[in-house]
Every structure is written in C-alpha cells, then in structure tokens.
Structure 1
Amino acid sequence: MATRNDRTPARKRGAVAKARSVQERIDAKDARKAQSSASGQAAAKKKARQTSARPKPRPPLPRQHLRKPGKEARLDPRPQFEAPEYRGSGKLEDMAAIITGGDSGIGRAVAVLFAREGADVAVVYLSEDEDARETRRHVEKEGRRCLLIRGDVKDPQFCERAVQQTVDEFGRLDVLVNNAAFQEHADALEDITEEHFDLTMRTNIYGYFHMARAALPHLHEGSAIINTGSETGLFGNAHLLDYSATKGAIHAFTMSLASNLVSRGIRVNAVAPGPVWTPLNPADKPAGKVARFGQQNPWGRPAQPEELSPAYVFLAAPSCSSYISGAILPVMGGSTG
C-alpha cells in the first residue's frame, strides 16, 4: 500500500525540501547567534558610531533620581544643548517664538538654536527659575532677546497672558512650540489615580490646546505650531499608560489642527523623540533605571537635546518646510517599536 508521503506530488515534495533547506540555514545561524548572544550584543553596541564630533554619554549613567519638576542644573552629566557644530543662517531672522517647557531639556536646546537663527524667544516654564535664567543667558549670548514667563499651562488664563506678554514684548508672534510635559511611570493601570491621570492629561494635552488657542489670533500666514510628541505615542509604553495616551492625542491633535489651519497658511507639525537625556526621565524613573536609560535604543544611548533641536528649526523655518504640515517627524535613533 502506498504511504501518504508516496502520494505527495513530486513538485510539492520539492517545494517542501526548498523551504526546509532555507529554514535549516536560518536555524543554523540562529543557533550560532544564541551561543554568543552576550558577545554579539556587545559587538552590536560597538558598531553604533557617533554621528557628532563630540562624544555623547552612554549607559551606565550615574544613578540619580530628581524631585519633580526636575532641575537640569542638578542633572549628571549635564545635557548637551549648545550644538556647537550648528551654524545659523538667518532662517528665523527677526521672528518671535514661544516655547513652553523652554527652561531645560529639549525646550532649552530649541530656544538656543532659534536664537542662533535670528528669533527672539519667550520661555514659558513652571517653577525652575535657575534653569530658566540659564536658558536666557544662552539665548542672549546668541544676540537675541529672551523673555521668561513663569506659570502653569494647565491654566487657560495664564496661557492667554503668556501669549499677550510675548506679543507686547516682541511686537509679533511667529512660532509656538508646545513642549511642556508631565511624566510619572506606573507599573499597573490600578496604580494610576484620578489625580495622576488628570495631571498628565491637563499638562500634556490641555496645555497644548490652551496655548494653541491663545496663540492663533496672533499667528499669520507662514507661522508654525510645533508640538512635542513621543515614540510612546506611536508604539505605547507598558509603564507610561497615561503619558503615552497623551502623546498619541498630541499626534492626532497635530494632524487635525494642520488640516484645520491650512487655509490660513499656518503649518502644524510634531516632533516625536525617542529617549532624550533631560530632567523629565530622572524625575520619573528610579535611580537604577536612570542608569540604564536609553541603552535599548539602536544607538545604545539616549539622544542629547542638541540632537533634537535642529528638527524644530526645520519645521519652524518657512524656507525649509513651507510645504510640510500635519507631519509627525520621528527623531528616535531608529524605530524602537
């Protein structure tokens, strides 16, 4: 009696043999990788080259945990924000910008490059006076004016006052950068209280809404709104449930507002960073996790703020992005989803 295998057409047996041959080659490679996984991971990290002339700190970073809201002056090592290799060329000459969360981290780096490109900058911040004064010093070093505005973007009346104060000081408003954020991890959904959830939502999405609404009457054709999103808004994060939700909302808000404002000639875009060395994460994560921050990224390290700020210049400058609106620009060191 013929067996089942005997009845299998020769053509199919050939296809199976080819499939298994391919599989066996891959299985053999997988086995070799598994045997040397530790050394393979180390080698992979060594292959990640610096793209900047000055070295970037890599994990393990010093163990530290900052009290909120997190002061950059107390962060070790200090974030790199000055972008010494970046040369300004007048892309934002005589423009005026507001940057929320501009006292430190990405916001500070953006303020410095905006000034280097010729813009006056209003820095909105919550309470970090020392950091804000340091940002102002660097903006003024670039030859531009810097207005410090202390307050809470969760308050719509404060947002109105901040915008009006900026317009009164500089005589115009061309760019709004929504960047202020609150982040606090939680291991389980049950660990997120109503207070926690409300604080994240009101800072990260209500604050963007309040600032955009306050700024719009003063913006004009050629103006730009730039929102800070996150890789968590694209891929999620198991321990940042509320924060990730707000960043996803920011991405949707960005695309929707871009469609809404295109007839007025106002561009709306977002930058979606991966891990960045700013006070935000050391003011959230426990010290042990801070020491490993960014090591899972393809580059094996977190970005420095100065590696994000050119993206904001690009999206702010009409000479660079006059035909770009509704975009979510990933600056992640490679996909980490």
Structure 2
Amino acid sequence: MTSRNEDPVSRHPQPDFPAQDQPHPGWTGPMDPPPDHGETSYEGIGLLEGKAAVITGGDSGIGRAVALAFAREGADVLITHLPEERADADTTVGLIVDAGRKGVALSCDLREEEQCREVVDLALTQFGRLDILVNNAAYQMSQPDGIGAIDTEQFDRVLKTNLYAMFWLSRMALEYLPAGGSIINTSSVQAYKPSPHLLDYAMTKAAIVNFTQGLAQMVASKGIRVNAVAPGPVWTPLIPATLPDTTEFGKQSPLGRPAQPAEMAPAYVFLASQRASYITAEVVNATGGTPLP
C-alpha cells in the first residue's frame, strides 16, 4: 500500500535518467530506472469481475499495467504483441495468471486486417465473450530532420498500427460487445500539443480523439461506451526505442517527471467499469499537469 498523501512529484523517479537506447520495439528489462506497472501496488476490488478484455500492445508499458489492473479487478485478459516481444508478453501473462484470471498472449501484426480478426476470434474462443476492447498498440519514430525524413514506409506503418488496427478491431469487436461493453482508445498529449519530430504519430493521436467521439455517439443507443485516455510522457520501452535522447524525458511536464505505466491503469479501469456508466465520448487527460483543451 502507498501513502494516501504521497507527493506526486517525488513518488516516482525524476530525470535526469541514464543515457540509454534500444532497437525497436524495445523491452522492459534493460530500462533504467525500471518501469512500475503496479506489480506491488495495484489492489483490485472486483470492478471488472467476470469480464473478458482484449488489450493490444499488452506486453509492456501502459498495456501491461492495464492488463495487470484488469486481472486484479476480476477480468480475463488477452494481450497482443509483436513476435520480438514474446518474453515481455509472457511476463504479462504471468501477472494475469497470478491474479487468478485467464491470460492469453497472441503474437500478431495488427497492420493486417485478417490478423485483427484472429484477435477477436481468439478472445471469443478462449473466454466465450468479449466485454472490453483497449486499443493501445502504437508505433512512433522520432524524425528531428522534419517531414522530409518521414518516408512512405514509416508513414504507412504509423497509420496502419495506430489507426487502421483501431478501426478494424473496433468494427469487429462491436459484433460481440454486449450492452455495458466498452471500447477504450489510447490517444496522447500529442493530439493537442504535437511535437514536430513526432509529426505523423501526433497526427494519428488527434485522429483517435475524433474517432472516439464519433464512434461513441454511433453506438450509444446500444449501451456501449467509447472513451479514450490521453497520456502525457510515460516511461515505457517505446521511449528508448524511438527517441534519440531520453535523459530528460518527462522533465517538461509540470510534475517534472514522466508517468509510470501504473499511474495510467486506473483511468482505464474506471472507464471500463460500471462506475463510468454515464461517461462516453470522453478523453481522460493524464498529462502530469499539461493543460489540454
């Protein structure tokens, strides 16, 4: 248990961090300091008891923290990951199982429509139902040399990972989500305050906000809620794998540090639970104090 009055500024490590970089997609183990996913702190109270969830990009970072929290709240969880992320995915599944729930990991490429279909089909096969979809998988690559450095291959990968997969999975999941079901998308502070070196990534995060708000209105009459979380800087493997310098990462936030993945998970739990039954088409901004519209 953490102190009820713990100072949010000093609660987690503050930059400057040791210099570090990894090849994409990045892994949890080499990160210094190690990310906190809530392994020793998150305590569930049954908010998602009996639910079944799919979380894309669930092997590490925000996805792992959400998977852990969902499981400790009573949900069975299927996560997706890239083939190179198998070790991290196995760790996440272990956390789900340790919480007494069923955990499944699927290696796939969400840029392929048929593989998105396999995600939904496997969840239904393994759990017999689907109640929650978390569209969290994302790709970014810093290009400080500007738009001319963003080639078509990168642009295509960013859009297909961040937007196409979200669209396909949402459309497919809606065939099975019951009244009371929930879709939660991961946007970003970049949707509102784009960094020039992340131009293509920021563009997709803004589109996710628009998609969330539009789809929420489309399916509200079916009793299905659609919301998003917009994190600020979060200490995940994607950071050393895609940014040229991580030593001061998160220092620009008013709290003076990046978030840990564990600090994002409660927002997803709330939005997935019946406690948020009148909340749809909303974006929860978890930015460490950066004001957003």
**Bucket of the pairwise TM-score, normalised by the shorter protein:** over 0.9
- Structure 2 gap ranges (5+): none
TM-aligned CA distance change 1:261 to 1:84, over 3 Å: same
Structure 2 distance, partners of 1:243, 1:259, is: 25
Paired position in structure 2 for 1:251: 209
Counterpart of 1:63 in structure 2 is 19
TM-score between both structures, scaled by the size of structure 2: 0.94
The alignment yields a C-alpha RMSD, in angstroms, of 1.5
Q: Does the alignment pair 1:271 with 2:229?
A: yes
In 1, the alpha carbon distance for the partners of 2:71 and 2:286 equals 22
Per-residue deviation, residues 23-78 of structure 1 (Å, max 9, x unmatched): xxxxxxxxxxxxxxxxxxxxxxxxxx954698411111111111001111222221
Given that residues 153 and 210 in structure 1 are in contact (C-alpha distance below 8 angstroms), is that contact kept between their aligned partners in structure 2?
A: no
For residues 199 and 262 of structure 1, the distance between their equivalents in structure 2, rounded to whole angstroms, comes to 31
Q: Compared with structure 1, are the counterparts of its residues 227 and 267 closer, same or farther at alpha carbon in structure 2 (3 Å cutoff)?
A: same
Distance 2:14 2:247 in 1: 9
The 1:118/1:242 distance shift into structure 2, 3 A limit, reads same
Partners in 2 of 1:78 and 1:65 — Cα distance?
A: 14
The one-letter amino acid paired with 2:12 is: K
Q: Are 2:132 and 1:175 aligned?
A: yes
Q: In the alignment, what sits opposite 2:29? A: 73
Cα deviation 1:244-271 (Å, max 9, x = unaligned)? 0000000000000001100111000000
Highest RCO, 1 vs 2 (Cα 8 Å, sep ≥ 6): 2
Does the Cα contact within 8 Å between 2:8 and 2:255 map onto a contact in 1? no
Q: Structure 1 length as normaliser, TM-score?
A: 0.82
Deviations 1:126-155 (A, max 9, x none): 120000000011111111110111101111
Q: Alignment identity in percent?
A: 47
Retained in 2: the 8 A contact 1:114–1:121? yes
Partner of 1:185: 142
Measure, in 2, the Cα distance between the counterparts of 1:111 and 1:67: 24
**Unpaired segments ≥5 residues, structure 1:** 1-48
Checking the alignment, whether the CA contact within 8 Å between 1:271 and 1:329 is kept in structure 2 is yes
SS in 2 for 1:102: coil
Deviation at 1:336, TM superposition (A): 5.4
Aligned length: 286
Matched, 1:197 2:155: yes
In 2, Cα distance between equivalents of 1:230 and 1:75: 22
What secondary structure is seen at the aligned counterpart in 1 of 2:142?
coil
Over 4 Å off, 4+ runs: none
Match status 1:115 vs 2:71 = yes
